[in-house]
Every structure is written in structure tokens, then in C-alpha cells.
Amino acid sequence: MNRRVLSIALTALICTLGTALLPVLAGDDAARHKSWEASNTEAKQAYEEGKYSEAESLYRTALDQAENLESSGPKAISSHGLARVYHKQGKYKEAEPLYKTALAIFDGSSRRRIFYLYSVIEDYADMLTTMGRTQEAQELRGRLKRSAPTTIR
């Protein structure tokens, strides 16, 4: 009987502590998300200004930060950004796995991220075309057309 009471008390204590820690942990993730967002924004700005070495470094930092977030969206966004940098620099072997990572994450995501998915598909297809892999690019774009809402077609 004492074991049962002790077990119930211990379970209640664990649940209480776990519930108490949730806001702290959520706040920690929010702080990490803000840090990622700042790095990613700086990287995007460097990319838009044609500062590809700086953008590469910043996107790497953002990608490392995204690995520690609960949501997979930031990882996909930073992967796509870094892939675009590599694509622009002609580093196709480095860009391709990053495009694939972003594509895999956004492909399984909610409808609210559909425009990110389209952007990744279009950029990846452009790179494949540049590499002379036009058949793969056409298949990828065909997939885009099949999945596009009627407002985009």
C-alpha cells in the first residue's frame, strides 16, 4: 500500500514539475527562435546585396541555430537560403542536398507554407536546368503545377 501511495505522489510531483517547466522551456525556444530569425534575416540581406561569402556564413549560423528549434520550418527556410547561395556561386553539389532537405520539410507541411514549397521547387528546378538536368527540372515543375491551388495556376 505504501508503494502505491508513493508511486501516485511521485507521479503527481513529476507532472507538477513538468507543467511548471513548460513555460520556461517554451520561453527558451522562443529566445532561440528570435536568435535564428535575426541570423536568417542578416543572411537574406547579405544575399540580396550580393555578399555571398557573408550570406553563406550567416546562413550556416542560422542553420545551426535552426537545428535546436522545435519547429522544422526554420531549418527548411535556412536550408533553402543556403542552397540559393551555393546555387548562385555555382556550388551545385553543396546546394542540391539543401534544396532536397527544404523540399522534404515543406512538402510535408501545412498549406500555410505552400508558397515556401513553390519557391524551393522553382529554385531547385532552375539549378537543375543550369546543370543540364532538364528532364528532372521539368518533372519537378510538373509536380508544382499538379499541386498548385487554382489561384496559382
**C-alpha to C-alpha distance for 143 and 120, rounded to whole angstroms:** 12
3-state SS record for 38-104: HHHHHHHHHHHCCCHHHHHHHHHHHHHHHCCCCCCHHHHHHHHHHHHHHHHCCCHHHHHHHHHHHHH
**What pTM did the predictor assign?**
0.76
The band of 121, judged by pLDDT with boundaries at 50, 70 and 90, is very high
- Count of residues for the chain? 153
pLDDT tops 50 at residue 19: no
Give tens-digit pLDDT for 60-105. Answer: 999 999 999 998 999 999 999 999 999 999 999 999 999 999 999 9
23 φ, ψ (degrees, to nearest 5): -60, -35
Quote the pLDDT of residue 145. Answer: 76
**C-alpha to C-alpha distance for 19 and 65, rounded to whole angstroms:** 26
Whether the CB-CB separation of 117 and 103 falls below 8 Å is answered with: yes
Specify whether domain 36-147 bears CATH 1.25.40.10. yes
132 φ, ψ (degrees, to nearest 5): 85, 10
Domain boundaries, the chain: 36-147
